[in-house]
């Protein structure tokens, strides 16, 4: 009898599961939305393409919002889920592909991007299903730089929402973010110095850090629209505690008391969920994403909000300035000259050795073995440093590598190579001095060339931290 009851229970299990699933409220799906592609003219006459996501069954004119991208060559698909979350809550949302003309990761202009955002606002205001008096801008990260510039330029912007906004210069913020990621990975010592200070200063001096010295207060003091500023409590990029205070002060300096500062518990920089204390990059929206924002927008119909701010999350380390003045040895041209000397001398030495072999000249010159290792070590150290530097900068220090004893393995390998350069240079110098009377003129030139490169390499490696603990 007991066996038959078990079989009866298992046979009903699919039915019970189906009933349970039907009883659980299901959030509105994309089927409840309607999308339409749009084309509009951005700043400087550039044609931009976007998509409007709107509620399918909405009646009357609805509030609208333009979503402005973060850094990089972002397309509208980057914000598709966020746009659907807003549209599901009754807000007509425009997402668009970021311009590829006049913009790159290394070359950017926030004024130009603000012009694109205002063009998108005009396109959204012209729709029959949108209330033109209730169209705002939403900006994330770099978009949170662009959005207040656009709002300060045009009264067409009815309100402003920023996520992960930065209150300092971009260079200062980037240095802070590098430090947070290195500390999270367990990195200590000279790699932190290299990335937080030397790399930032090199980027500024070489002009590869676009908008590195822009002061956000220049924009926030001229924004008079209602502002909703959001940060995740686990934002490891935008310094939420520090930035929120600065932006709040900027608004108050400009006489704008209509702002709301809100921190979302457990969210990372882009307000998505996080599974590694804010240091990962999952594409995972919270189930209630955009609910707070949609309610805030709806309440604007009753008038602008009074000033209000949540208690900011703790921030263990404040940012530090990293801009000029620059010393003469920090010149990008001098750095380029150093690379040229390293590679020219070491590769020139190797080329001379190959030519000697091809001419079948017998007898290796004195100090040849140590000089050969010196040339190899300089080449490997220089190219290795350049490669690792590019990986760290282009990935925002997210690809540090395995860490052992407070050092990443790539950095530890570079340090060992730098020590090898010093050892090989000393050995070559000693052997050259001992056999100075036996050297031909050609040998003296070759050895002098590679030793000169080593003499430049030592202070260069010390500056970049490769020869520091």
Give the pLDDT of residue 213: 82
Which residue, among 244, 243, 255, has the nearest Cα to 304 in the 3D structure? 255
Answer yes or no: is pLDDT of 276 > 60: yes
pLDDT band at 48 (very low <50, low <70, confident <90, very high): very high
| Gyration radius of the chain over CA positions | 30
- Mean pLDDT is highest, among 161-170, 321-330, 356-365, for 161-170
Answer yes or no: is pLDDT of 437 > 80: no
Average pLDDT over residues 239-248: 96
Q: Is 395 exposed, middle or buried (0-12, 13-18, 19+ CB in 10 A)?
A: exposed
Which residue, among 257, 256, 269, 266, has the nearest Cα to 230 in the 3D structure? 269
Mean confidence (pLDDT) of the chain: 87
**Rounded-to-integer distance, Cα 268 and Cα 260, Å:** 19
Q: Which range is least confidently modeled, 4-18, 380-394, 397-411? A: 4-18
My answer on whether omega of the bond before 325 falls inside 30° of 0, hence cis, is: yes
Which residue, among 419, 446, 261, 454, has the nearest Cα to 342 in the 3D structure? 454
Average pLDDT over residues 55-59: 80
HSE-CB at 394 with a 13 A cutoff on CA atoms is 7
Report which secondary-structure segment, H or E, holds 63.
Answer: strand 62-68
Report which secondary-structure segment, H or E, holds 136.
Answer: strand 130-140
pLDDT band at 17 (very low <50, low <70, confident <90, very high): very low
Question: Could you tell me the residue ranges of all domains in the chain?
Answer: 30-169+214-309, 328-464
Query: Which has more confidence, 4 or 312?
Result: 312
Q: And the tokens for 81?
A: 């889920």
pLDDT band at 71 (very low <50, low <70, confident <90, very high): confident
Answer yes or no: is pLDDT of 270 > 90: yes
**Rounded-to-integer distance, Cα 109 and Cα 211, Å:** 7
Q: Is 34 helix (H, G, I), strand (E, B) or coil?
A: strand
Which residue, among 199, 161, 162, has the nearest Cα to 177 in the 3D structure? 199
**Rounded-to-integer distance, Cα 381 and Cα 384, Å:** 5
Answer yes or no: is pLDDT of 457 > 90: yes
Give the pLDDT of residue 348: 77
Which residue, among 306, 287, 302, 310, has the nearest Cα to 89 in the 3D structure? 287
- Residue pair 77/63 in contact by the 8 Å Cβ criterion: no
Give the pLDDT of residue 13: 36
Answer yes or no: is pLDDT of 10 > 70: no
Q: Is 57 exposed, middle or buried (0-12, 13-18, 19+ CB in 10 A)?
A: exposed
pLDDT band at 6 (very low <50, low <70, confident <90, very high): very low
Answer yes or no: is pLDDT of 12 > 60: no
**Rounded-to-integer distance, Cα 270 and Cα 219, Å:** 21
Identify the residue whose tokens are 């190219």. 383
Answer yes or no: is pLDDT of 24 > 60: no
- Residue pair 93/86 in contact by the 8 Å Cβ criterion: yes
Instruction: Give the percent of the chain with pLDDT over 70.
Output: 90
Give the pLDDT of residue 7: 34
- Mean pLDDT is highest, among 9-13, 147-151, 390-394, for 147-151
End-to-end CA distance of the chain: 76
The 10s digit of each residue's pLDDT in 33-44 is 999 999 999 999
**Rounded-to-integer distance, Cα 373 and Cα 346, Å:** 10
Cβ neighbour number for residue 94 with a 10 Å cutoff: 29
- Residue pair 124/64 in contact by the 8 Å Cβ criterion: yes
**Rounded-to-integer distance, Cα 131 and Cα 90, Å:** 12
Topology at the third CATH level for domain 30-169+214-309: Rossmann fold (3.40.50)
pLDDT band at 365 (very low <50, low <70, confident <90, very high): low
Give the pLDDT of residue 360: 58
The CA-atom distances, in angstroms, between 89 and each of 53, 378, 392 are: 11, 60, 40
Answer yes or no: is pLDDT of 400 > 60: yes
Q: Is 90 helix (H, G, I), strand (E, B) or coil?
A: coil
Query: Which has more confidence, 399 or 30?
Result: 399
Query: Which has more confidence, 407 or 323?
Result: 407
273 secondary structure, DSSP code:
B
Q: Which range is least confidently modeled, 178-187, 443-452, 459-468? A: 443-452
**Rounded-to-integer distance, Cα 11 and Cα 43, Å:** 65
Alpha helices (H) in 154-239, listed in sequence order = 170-185, 190-193, 199-205, 217-220
Give the pLDDT of residue 207: 78
Identify the residue whose tokens are 């002098």. 448
């Amino acid at each position: 009898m007991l066996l038959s009851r078990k079989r009866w229970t298992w046979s009903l299990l699919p039915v019970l599961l189906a009933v349970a699933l039907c009883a659980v409220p299901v959030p509105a799906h994309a089927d409840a939305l309607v999308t339409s592609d749009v084309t509009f003219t951005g700043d400087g006459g550039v044609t931009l393409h976007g998509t409007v996501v709107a509620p399918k069954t909405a009646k009357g004119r609805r509030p609208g919002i333009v979503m402005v991208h973060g850094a990089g060559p972002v397309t509208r698909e980057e914000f598709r889920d966020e746009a659907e979350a807003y549209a599901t809550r009754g807000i007509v949302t425009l997402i668009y592909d970021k311009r590829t003309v006049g913009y790159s990761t290394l070359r950017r202009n926030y004024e130009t991007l603000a012009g694109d955002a205002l063009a998108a606002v005009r396109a959204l205001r012209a729709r029959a299903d949108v209330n033109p008096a209730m169209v705002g801008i939403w900006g994330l990260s770099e978009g949170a730089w662009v959005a207040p510039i656009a709002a300060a330029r045009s009264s067409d912007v009815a309100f402003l929402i920023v996520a992960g906004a930065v209150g300092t210069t971009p260079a200062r913020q980037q240095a802070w973010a590098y430090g947070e990621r290195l500390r999270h990975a367990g990195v200590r010592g000279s790699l932190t110095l290299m990335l937080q200070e030397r790399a930032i200063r090199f980027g500024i001096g070489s002009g590869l850090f676009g908008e590195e010295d822009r002061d956000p207060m220049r924009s926030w003091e001229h924004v008079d629209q209602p502002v909703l500023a959001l940060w995740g409590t686990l934002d490891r990029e935008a310094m939420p505690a520090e930035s929120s205070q600065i932006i709040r002060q900027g608004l108050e300096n400009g006489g704008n008391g209509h702002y709301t500062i809100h921190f979302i518990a457990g969210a990372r920089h882009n307000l998505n969920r996080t599974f590694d204390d804010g240091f990962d990059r999952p594409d995972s929206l919270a189930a209630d994403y955009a609910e707070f924002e949609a309610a805030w927008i709806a309440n604007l119909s009753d008038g602008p909000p009074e000033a209000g701010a949540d208690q900011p999350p703790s921030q263990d380390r404040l940012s530090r300035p990293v801009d000029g003045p620059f010393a003469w040895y920090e010149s990008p041209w001098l750095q380029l000259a150093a690379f040229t000397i390293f590679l020219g001398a070491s590769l020139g030495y190797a080329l001379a050795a190959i030519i000697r072999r091809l001419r079948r000249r017998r007898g290796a010159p004195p100090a040849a073995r140590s000089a050969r290792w010196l040339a190899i070590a300089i080449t490997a150290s220089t190219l290795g440093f350049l490669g690792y530097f590019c990986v760290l900068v282009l990935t925002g220090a997210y690809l540090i590598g395995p860490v052992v004893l407070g050092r990443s393995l790539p950095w530890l390998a570079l340090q060992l190579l730098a020590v090898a350069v010093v050892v090989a240079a000393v050995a070559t110098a000693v052997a050259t001095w001992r056999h100075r009377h036996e050297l031909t003129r050609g040998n003296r030139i070759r050895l002098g060339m590679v030793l000169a490169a080593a003499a430049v390499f030592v202070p260069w490696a010390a500056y970049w931290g490769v020869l520091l603990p």
